[in-house]
A and B are shown apart, each in its own frame.
Chain A
Amino acid sequence: MDRVIQFSNVSLAIGGRHILDDINIDIARGEFVAIVGPSGCGKTTLLRLLAGLAAPSSGEILLDGTPVRAPRQDVAVVFQDYGKALLPWRTASGNIALALEAMNVPRDQWPARIAELLATMGLERDGDKRPGEMSGGMQQRLQIARCLAQQPGVLLMDEPFGALDAITRQLLQDEVLALAERTGMTVFFVTHDLEEAIYLGNRVVALNASPGRVARTFPIDLPHPRDQLSTREHPTFLELRHDLFSFIKGGTGK
């Protein structure tokens, strides 16, 4: 297996409280892994460790074989709160330019790259709008476009569609799936929506809470490309949905 991400014995304690305990997850290149678990179990914290925004108390996270010590430009992060993650004073194009700037892309290549990225996320007509003039769905598309400007090998997403309406959520799920397929990106996708996890993932990792531990891993054997109707009606989907729901219900002890 061509391993891109490896959590080995990762634990994190803050102020004597164990937040994550002995996490071991291996992720292959191009895999789409969905992380689920009850609120407060440490999903966001796990993603932040992988992003290099925080360090584990013990254990190690390897990315392409090297330990993560700080954020890396080939690892992009889509935050849930798009409203806070975008620069409100810059237009959509300007927000993408921020990433190109950070990547040291020569300035004369910006217009073409920006146009291409906007088009990829269906924002070709919105380049001059500021985030305040865009809907939630458009803002999240913009944040994804900015991440793509980094040409990441690994995309981390923290409940990216949690604040969107059901229809927009489904549209974006399909777009992210198509993107991942086209680019071969490895996706680490945190969600609390179990159906979303099954629909998107090649694998669903369920955590349990206090301290956060890997409770169980569900391989998802559903055909690609996924389809909002037929995949969700697929017998395997329904079976997985049943298993995952009853596991989470039992696993949290409530």
Chain B
Amino acid sequence: MRAIWFFASLAFTACLIGLWQLASATGLASPIFLPAPTRVLDALVAGFSSGAMPAKLGATTARVFVGWALASLLGVALGALIGVSQRARIYIAPSLEFLRPLPVSALVPIFIGLLGYSEQMVLAVIAFGAFWPCLLSTIHGFSAVEPRLYEVSKVLGLSRWSMIRKIALPSALPDIIAGMRVGLTVSLILVVVGEILGSREGIGYDILLAQRAFKSPDLFAGIILLGLVGYASAIAIDWLESRLVRWR
């Protein structure tokens, strides 16, 4: 069954590429805006054989990963704190509510002012954007713990720390992972924004340069690579989820 679906999706992708090829071969779309898939492939091959592409791909992937990991760490830690401690909620929640609706784009000038056009600035932009989904779904996960389980842990005489570790955290885990998944998507968007604003070498910045130089094959090559990074990371999260949340 799974094999059938796999081939079906493969066939669908092939059809799309075929249509794309058709559109550019018949001149339906101008090659300046829509290059033929074969030319995009050429651009990819050229980029990889010259060695420039792997370096950029590596840099971009690393930024996504580090920014996202930072956001996840902070988001889960703070979310757990707010989730288990009434006092933390009272102190922290209002300032978070103030920060939360601010768009990342509005804060970018502040990050540039603080960190310059640096690697750290790009990471900060990614981390700031990806932090919110992680935080909010962690808070949600902790607040959605079955109240009966809290009573069970009281009756069993579990310590507060054991209760958090053995009951609240595992119970919140599916929500935490869902938040991290959204955070990853946000990171992928913001890495492009960050690289463009900071003029940092990478796939995102490359896309901008290709667009300015009307090199549409390079532009599409970059987009395809970004898509592949997103696809691979989604698979990685699926795998993580199936390992950690086997009971669902």
Contacts and interface: CB of A to CB of B under 8 A. Distances in A.
Interface stretch (A74-82, A188-196, A209-217, A224-232): A74-82
Interface of B: 146, 148-149, 151-158, 162, 166-167, 170-171, 173, 245-247
Contacts, number: 58
A132 B148 contact: no
Given A88-B247, A89-B247, A98-B158, 17 more contacts: A71-B155, A77-B155, A79-B148, A79-B151, A81-B148, A84-B146, A84-B148, A87-B170, A87-B171, A90-B247, A98-B156, A98-B166, A99-B156, A101-B162, A102-B158, A102-B162, A150-B156
A119 interface: no
Contacts of B158: 98, 101-102
Contact of A73 (B157, B162, B173): B157
The majority secondary structure among interface residues of chain A is: loop
A61 to B, nearest CB: 15
A86 to B, nearest CB: 8
A77 B151 CA distance: 10
Contacts of B246: 89
Interface in A52-67: 52-53
A102 B148 contact: no
Contacts of A71: 154-155, 157
A102 B157 contact: yes
Interface of chain B, helix or strand or loop or mixed? Answer: helix
Closest 3 A-B residue pairs measured CB to CB? A84-B148, A102-B156, A89-B247
A152 B158 CA distance: 15
Contacts of B155: 51, 53, 71, 75-77
A87 B167 contact: yes
Nearest to B146: A84
A150 B153 CA distance: 12
Nearest to A72: B157
A179 interface: no
Contacts of A76: 155
A13 interface: no
Contacts of B170: 87, 89
Nearest to B163: A102
A102 B158 CA distance: 5
**Max chain B C-beta neighbours (<10 A), residue from A51, A53, A81, A89:** A89
Given A98-B156, A132-B247, A53 B151 contact: yes
